[in-house]
Amino acid sequence: MLGTDPVQLGYSVDDAQDLSVDELRELPLDRHRKCGRFPILPTGEVAIRTQRSKQHGRTVAHFSGLGTCGSVWMPCCAPKILAGRADEVERAITEHWRRGGEVLFFTGTMSHVEADSLADSFDALRDTFQDLTAGGWWTRFRKRWGVSGYIRAVEITRGGAGWHVHVHCLLFLCSSEEDYPAYIEGDLVGIQCALFGRWAYIARNRYGREVNIRHGLDLQLVTRGNATEVGHYVAKLEDGRSMALEMLRGDLKKGRLTGSIHPHELLDLVHDQDPGIRSEARRLWREYERTVAGRRMMTWSHGLRASLLDSMTDLSDQELAEAEVGGVVVALIPSDLWRQLRVVPGALGQLLRAAEDGGFAAIERLCVQLIARPG
């Protein structure tokens, strides 16, 4: 039934999302539907690999030999892509500090109501940020406060007041050796006032969105103690290691649609006992996937990445999703068996847990049970 001889595999999907057949039908785009589920090797085999996690100190399993959609917005590929982006952010911050600079972290948002579409809210936020970082005002702001560049990321949640889109941004401030004034303690208030005033003006006068004076824009200095936290916060990892990620847990908790949830959790609600919840979850997921298709979650200002990470290859989201994460092959699943397993609700998650807990023997026993299961 299963093979154990290691083979060279070109692709893997780490932390594969265990989507049922019904949930997959909610993915309207074909490449998203197939992500992490359809083999790409000529033999059609799929490998299960295990390795020791340095982060968690336990055995972690993943599938290898499956196609990827390469979308940072989708549940299968997001963990690997965002892990790579977080590493880039941390390296950039560290290098900027080595050169004597400082880094600020701000979050910007604007008003929204339940009737607002995700596309409208996303576009309003994106365009407000683009306007903020362009033109004469931005040129004067950069010279006044010594801003050499920025990294911007977008976050989306869904709550009782509808879609909530906000931007996280790292501002890199020059060192005293450069042509701009060095950051000094006390500048934070002045920078925040300038940013808030401009942010609120653009949102209100150009896009008809109000900005809350208390929650519309938050600014803090990144310290040596929380650089990793902010780096992961911008890239939106969900492993719970840091203070910033703990702050995000309020957005990522499992919950009803009246609470604040991550869009990926809408797939969990497709099978809710309440038919109204199921219907709304399907509608919202379709809106989410269509809206984020082709949009960028994370951007660097011109020249910043090359300046701070000149020795690092600039990998695309697709390349990060396809990167092999290593590990030992504990089982090879033939193509005919994989076709049967991938349509069994919950089977893929069970296979990974079996690999982590009992290796090849546990996987083989589980396969027999899953295939013999009626229906």
Q: C-alpha angle 227/229/231, rounded to 5°?
A: 70
Q: Which of 119-128, 216-225, 288-297 shows the lowest mean pLDDT across its residues?
A: 216-225
Q: Summarize the confidence of residues 255-279 as an average pLDDT.
A: 77
User: Tell me: the pLDDT tens digits for 353-362?
Assistant: 899 899 999 9
For residue 333, what is the DSSP state?
A: E
Structure tokens at 138: 């931005």
> What are 158's strand-pairing partners?
163, 261
**Residue 35, pLDDT score:** 79
- What is the phi/psi pair of residue 312, to 5°? -95, 135
Q: Hunting for tokens 């539907």 — which residue is that?
A: 33
332 has a pLDDT exceeding 90:
yes
- Pairwise CA distance, residues 204 & 187, whole Å: 26
Strands 217-221 and 298-300: unpaired
Average pLDDT along the chain? 78
Q: Report which residue type is found at 291.
A: T
Whether the pLDDT of residue 170 is over 80: the answer is yes
Detail the DSSP E strand segments found in 82-235: 102-108, 147-159, 162-173, 217-221
Q: Is residue 261 scored above 90 in pLDDT?
A: no
Using 50, 70 and 90 to split pLDDT, how confident is the model at 240? very low
Q: Is it the case that residue 208 has pLDDT exceeding 90?
A: no
**pLDDT surpassing 60 at residue 251:** no
Extract the tokens encoding 198: 């401009």
What is the structure's pLDDT at 186?
Answer: 67
The amino acid at 158: R
Q: For the ranges 64-78, 127-141, 143-157, which has the lowest average pLDDT?
A: 64-78
- The pTM (predicted TM-score) of the whole model is 0.75
Which range is most confident: 60-64, 78-82, 239-243, 321-325? 60-64
Please report, rounded to a whole number, the percentage of residues in the chain having pLDDT higher than 70. Answer: 76
pLDDT of residue 323: 82
CA angle 84/127/142 to nearest 5° reads: 75
Please provide residue 316's backbone torsions phi and psi, each rounded to the nearest 5 degrees: -75, 170
Residue 368 makes CB contacts below 8 A (sequence gap 6+) with: 1
Q: What is the pLDDT of residue 310?
A: 78
State phi, psi for 31 to the nearest 5 degrees: -70, -30
Q: Which residues are within 8 A (CB) of 259 and not within 5 positions of it... i.e. 6 or more apart?
A: 159, 160, 253
**Cα–Cα dist 365/362, whole Å:** 5
How far apart are the C-alpha atoms of 307 and 373, rounded to whole Å? 57
Give per-residue pLDDT as tens, 10-60: 222 333 344 444 444 445 556 676 777 888 888 899 999 988 866 556 788
Range 276-305 average pLDDT: 91
Q: Is the distance from CB of 121 to CB of 112 less than 8 angstroms? A: yes
Give percent above pLDDT 90 in the chain: 30
Instruction: Choose the most confident range, by mean pLDDT, from 41-55, 104-118, 263-277.
Output: 104-118
Residue entry with tokens 């911007």: 152
Q: What is the DSSP string of 195-245?
A: HHHHHHHHHHHHH-----TTTSEEEEE--TTSHHHHHHHHHT--S--SHHH
How much is the pLDDT for 295? 92
Highest mean pLDDT among 6-15, 203-212, 221-230 belongs to 203-212
The pLDDT of residue 179 is 57
State both tokens at 331.
């089982």
